[in-house]
Amino acid sequence: MSDFLSRILTEIKPLDRKAMEAAKVRQDKLTKPKGSLGRLEELSIQVAGIKGKVIHSLEHKAIVTMAADHGVVSEGVSAYPQGVTGQMVFNFLNGGAGINILARFIGARVVVVDMGTVGDLPPHPNLICKKIAYGTKNMAREAAMSHSEAMKSIEAGIEIVEDEIAKGLDIVGTGDMGIGNTTASSAICAAITGEPVEELTGRGTGLANKQLAHKVEVIQKVLELNKPDPRDPIDVLAKVGGFEIGGLAGVMLGAAAHRVPVVVDGFISGAAALIAAKLSPRLKDYLIAAHLSAESGHKALLQYLGLMPLLDLRMRLGEGTGAALGIALVEAAVKTLAEMATFAEAGITKEKH
């Protein structure tokens, strides 16, 4: 492990229990029956623990959407051709994708990163280029990437989130784009959780039954060939992962090291969280699972992480679209804690018992 990554991991500290207690005390003074805002109350307390204090707003919000290509698509595991990854990056930069609309809706900026698409994307003022390579190798024949590339992808993610923190960042959401990346995510999930591949593999962008069966076979072959070591998350990432997945793991670790809450999108971001949480057992406290994706396997993944999704809207678009909606709920939680009147302020009688 690099010195840079080691340092970041040691900077991920436990949540601030005193701040959480202060948030809880304030929640119980607000003009509502105790606990009646349910998960909004829990979120407000978690955010206080992350920030080290009760905060009043989430002014600076960003979704980091990372794109990369996957050599394994040559095995016929996706309903879309590989060129769509780069085309969608343009769509992100032009503001026409789902994540652009939802990020604007919640007042967040979208940080678009090329972590390793197959083509050379023309420079654009809003495109961050951290290309580790021109797509991963076909992991059905060899490791997706080298150990060094896996490390680099994580470090690139840390650098990106640190740059965003320098600009102002109160909360970050994760997002992905990469034709073939549900295949890599299912492989990571199977390697780390040990659950059967069939149960962790879904239709991605829209496979039919026969294609889904083929995808399962490909992932089984990938795992048999590469034998990723579940105790070594860098090994898992290198053998069966993707550059955007490594990058998102880095975003999560870097954000946690700087006490920034991370709203995790769907299945691909979840796979990144599996890698990152294996590197830092404390990371989990900094994560908020935005939603349960319609992609099979996401439920088992979240259960393994011990995260409970906020939303279940049968979404499966990725890009950070679920994270955007999740951030809105976290902001609602922060604002209710900060802005509601207490019983004393409002002159209201408390409950009888």
Helix (H) or strand (E) holding 155: helix 147-167
Residue 19 vs 88, nearer CB to a second copy: 88
Contact residues toward a second copy (CB under 8 A) are 30-40, 79-81, 83-84, 87-88, 90-91, 94, 96-98, 100-102, 105, 205-206, 208, 294, 310-317, 321, 324-325, 328-329, 331-332, 335-336, 339-341, 345-349, 351-353
Please state the closest distance from residue 274 (CB atom) to a second copy, in A. Answer: 22
Residues contacting 250, CB < 8 A, separation 6+:
153, 154, 155, 156, 157, 158, 159, 160, 161, 276
In the complex, what is the shortest distance from the CB of residue 85 to a second copy, in angstroms, rounded to a whole number? 10
Options 149, 155, 319, 331, the catalytic residue: 319
In the complex, minimum distance from the CB of residue 57 to a second copy, in angstroms, rounded to a whole number: 10
69 or 164: whose CB is closer to a second copy? Answer: 69
Contact 174, 252 (CB under 8 A): yes
* Cα Rg of the chain, angstroms: 20
CB 11 within 8 A of CB 280: no
Give catalytic status of residue 319 as yes or no. Answer: yes
Closer residue to a second copy in complex, CB, 258/291: 291
Q: Which is nearer to a second copy, 207 or 275 (CB)?
A: 207
Cβ neighbours of residue 244 closer than 8 Å, sequence gap 6 or more: 66, 67, 68, 113, 115, 116, 153, 176, 177, 178, 181, 268
Q: Which amino acid is at 184?
A: A
Shortest Cβ 98–a second copy spacing (Å) = 6
Angle ∠(240,160,271) on CA atoms, nearest 5: 30
Just list the catalytic residues: 319
